[in-house]
Amino acid sequence: MTAPTIVSVADVSKRFTLHRHKSLKERIVNRGTEKAHREDFWALRDISLEIPSGSTVGLVGHNGSGKSTLLKVIGGIIEPSSGTVKRRGRMAALLELGAGFHPDLTGRENVYLNAAILGLTQKEIDRYFDAIVNFSGIEAFIDTQVKFYSSGMYVRLAFAVAVHVNPDLLLVDEVLAVGDEPFQAKCMDKIEEFQREGRTIVVVSHSAAQVARLCDRVVVMNHGQMIFDGQPADGLHVLRFGYDEQRRIDALGEELALGSGSQNPARITDLSIVSEQPADKKSIASGDDMAISFSYELTKSHPPLVAEISIETPEGEPIYRLSTVDMTAQIPNTAGQHVVDFAFSRVPLGIGEYSLRGNLETRDGISLDRSVSSSPFSVTGKVPSTGYLTMDVEVATRSDLLNSAG
Amino acid sequence: MESTTLERQHKQEREHHIAELEFIDVGRKPGFFRGTSSSIADIWHFRELLGRLVRREVKARYKDSSLGIVWSLFRPLVQLLIYFFAIGKILGAAKSVPDYAIFVFIGLSVWTLYAETITGSTISILNNSGLIKKVYLPREIFPLASIGSALVNFGVQLVVLLLGILFLSHFRVSWELLLAPAAFITILTFGTAVGLLLSALNVYLRDVQHFVEIYLIVFFWVSPIVYPITAVQNALHGNWLEQIYLANPVTMAVVAMQKALWASGSTGSIQQSWPDNLELRLLIVFLASVLLLWISQRVFSRLQGNFAQEL
């Protein structure tokens, strides 16, 4: 069965009005010019989003792109100016850890208070209390006032409360990177447990690695608009390479859809590993040779061109980049179909998933086309190892035996 | 392996559970009239939290002080001493008012409850801005919690007041004792109504909290706390000004409380006069306060939508 929708956002816009004059006197004195001194700022513009139950959605974007506002609108903290948000199931919002903590109260009192704020009843808190304290790992200080806590202890306790609330929908804003490394690992494990239990998570994060690890869907926000909604790798790519690019690609897509004559004069038609395998299941063995073909189409003659390819991790992090200009290779720039073959011998990639991206640009660096969707491939190997590299290695042992009598 | 099947089962159960739930509209404004019941249900749902917030306010206020909640008594007691000597003895008001100390303390207790209700709730939203910006709760909780902590203080004062009456004076056992709870409910309703309204307005116009300070100073002297209502009646002789004076809910509550608990006012050597139809007036003021409470709750729920961005 398909997962039911848990959050439904329809045509939501949010307008903030910025007043230059705050005090009553200023407002009265400048009443005539009030209009001129008022600025409308659209934090969200016509956002529509359906989130199915059990999915993990990452909201990414630069500062001020509206992602936190969107999260707050879903959480009911800010009312949208227009549009509707519908939601069901129990929700917990981790918008700021320890928002309800009172410095003068003890850890125990704060656990009860904060859990009540997140919607637990007395009985439920009693039941989870030991688990919460256990998870936070600060048993010894639970009856100390929290103002004496270190910041690490503070957030650990707050996080521990938040994850024991048993929500169907969890909203998380930039709070997963708390505590020391072992505690972060604990948090991540807990989040992954949530995912396996079919809870829905909406997370705002600036960490590409976190989003790539946790999310099965990414929504990219820019200036209050949703500019991308789809696979994490593609979304992070859009985020990294800027929005102008995305807009250009969108425009291109529209042109193609319209079938107009003004087709892009330079287009990457294919970028993939040369093999007989189906397009989505390409794989090579670590240490083997690999050939990559870069096909492009020109509808007219161009100034000298450069083809660039990069190999990326699933997080969209480029680990290898190569351009024909570096190899002082010329690629054809006359009208027609062309293919550039890159042949790599003894590929030193480590076991794992990778993807390919291509870029076609002029010698002056003006990008003519970028491959929009990545071409994934996997690398397999006999010797299990982690990391992006594989190296030939032999293991031998040497020992000096101790004299047993000595 | 068993745990994964269990997890999968949980996941499916959750999906079924969610598929059966009704969608709720987030942040949609219900009509002016229809929203009341949903607001009340919302607050009722968080009643446990309300209790915790009250405890937090009371605890945090006197945390680390060795005398603790006893401090809440000192202010009214010192006030009592000042009024007793300055106005009662030096200005001679005590001569025409029997049991002047008890008389003043009754008025002071009611007034302190009212004043703490208003000042506490006016700044409550601002003080809890950290929570309001980050977590969704029915925002009425915060003014209500500060009213709760005012009630705790009132309770302590009431105990002292009752002990004082018991030892220094006496209770007049009659149906007029019932005026005390009626006056209490009236002042509480009126205070809550005003407090809710001001707490919401203060978010948009910070001048409100300064205005409240002035208002409380003026109306302390406008209410018959340190002087008896008899003095007002003697000065105004029941003209229209006195009717306006008596329309103040705080005045009505103070007078009713005095009539109930200040035995020597009704039976003492110097006879006091009470306003005509005190009970009816109190009832009218109470009903008006209930209406005001409803209106200010509706206004509050209208204004609260933008709290998070205004704070």
Q: What is the CATH number of the domain that holds A285?
A: 2.70.50.60
Closest CA to A246 of A383, A396, A75, A367: A367
- Structure confidence at residue B188 (pLDDT): 95
Q: What is the count of residue pairs from A and B with beta carbons less than 8 Å apart?
A: 126
- In-domain check, residue A45: no
| Between B27 and B56, the higher pLDDT residue | B56
**Residues of chain A above pLDDT 70, percent:** 85
Q: Are A42 and A77 in contact (CB under 8 A)?
A: no
**Residues of chain B above pLDDT 70, percent:** 95
- Structure confidence at residue A240 (pLDDT): 73
For residue B23, list chain A residues with Cβ-Cβ distance below 8 A.
Answer: 8, 86-88
Closest CA to B196 of B43, B79, B76, B10: B43
Among the partner-chain residues A75, A99, A198, the one whose CB lies closest to the CB of B11 is A198
Q: DSSP letter string over A122-138?
A: HHHHHHHHHHHHHHHT-
Up-side HSE of residue A178: CA atoms within 13 Å toward CB? 22
Q: Are A271 and A292 in contact (CB under 8 A)?
A: yes
| Between A122 and A373, the higher pLDDT residue | A122
| Between B289 and A144, the higher pLDDT residue | B289
- Structure confidence at residue A406 (pLDDT): 47
Among the partner-chain residues A76, A112, A117, the one whose CB lies closest to the CB of B131 is A117
Q: What is the pLDDT of residues B96-144, one digit of tens each?
A: 888 888 888 899 999 999 999 999 999 999 888 888 887 778 888 999 9
Q: Can you give the residue ranges of every domain in chain B?
A: 32-310
- Structure confidence at residue A21 (pLDDT): 59
- In-domain check, residue A224: no
- Structure confidence at residue A37 (pLDDT): 62
- Which whole number is the average pLDDT over A163-167? 81
- Which whole number is the average pLDDT over A172-197? 78
Whole-prediction pTM: 0.73
Among the partner-chain residues B14, B64, B130, the one whose CB lies closest to the CB of A99 is B130
- Structure confidence at residue A372 (pLDDT): 63
- Total Cβ atoms within 10 A of residue B279: 14
- Which whole number is the average pLDDT over B278-305? 91
**Residues of chain B above pLDDT 90, percent:** 31
Please work out, in degrees rounded to the nearest 5, the angle formed at the alpha carbon of residue A131 by the alpha carbons of A126 and A132: 85
Residue A32 in this model has a pLDDT that exceeds 80: no
Determine contact: A112 vs chain B, CB below 8 A: yes
Phi/psi of residue B227, nearest 5 degrees:
-120, 150
- In-domain check, residue A353: yes
Instruction: Give every CB contact of residue B49 below 8 A, 6+ residues apart in sequence.
Output: A113, A116, A117, B137, B141
For residue B64, list chain A residues with Cβ-Cβ distance below 8 A.
Answer: 104
For residue A89, list chain B residues with Cβ-Cβ distance below 8 A.
Answer: 17-18, 21
Q: What is the pLDDT of residues B186-243, one digit of tens each?
A: 999 999 999 999 999 998 888 898 999 999 999 999 999 888 888 888 888 878 888 8
Quote the mean pLDDT of chain A. Answer: 80
Q: What is the pLDDT of residues A300-323, one digit of tens each?
A: 888 888 888 888 887 777 888 888
Residue A36 in this model has a pLDDT that exceeds 70: no
- Which whole number is the average pLDDT over A218-246? 77
Q: What is the pLDDT of residues A84-136, one digit of tens each?
A: 888 888 787 776 766 778 888 888 888 888 888 877 888 888 888 988 888 88
Reported as type and span, the H/E element at residue B24 is strand B24-26
Residue B262 in this model has a pLDDT that exceeds 80: yes
Instruction: Give every CB contact of residue A207 below 8 A, 6+ residues apart in sequence.
Output: A176, A177
Tally of domains within chain A: 1
d(CA A342, CA A1): 45
Least confident of A40-49, B199-208, B261-270: B261-270
Domain assignment of residue A345, given as a range: 264-380
| Between A8 and A278, the higher pLDDT residue | A8
- Structure confidence at residue A255 (pLDDT): 53
Q: Show the tokens assigned to B219.
A: 């109306």
- Structure confidence at residue A259 (pLDDT): 45
- Structure confidence at residue A260 (pLDDT): 41
- In-domain check, residue A21: no
Residues of B with CB under 8 A from a CB of A: 4, 7, 10-12, 14-15, 17-19, 21-29, 46, 48-49, 52-53, 56, 59-60, 63-64, 130-137, 205, 207, 305-306, 308-309
| Between B26 and B1, the higher pLDDT residue | B26
Residue A246 in this model has a pLDDT that exceeds 60: no
CA distance to A3, A86, A194, B24, per residue, from B17 (Å):
11, 16, 16, 15
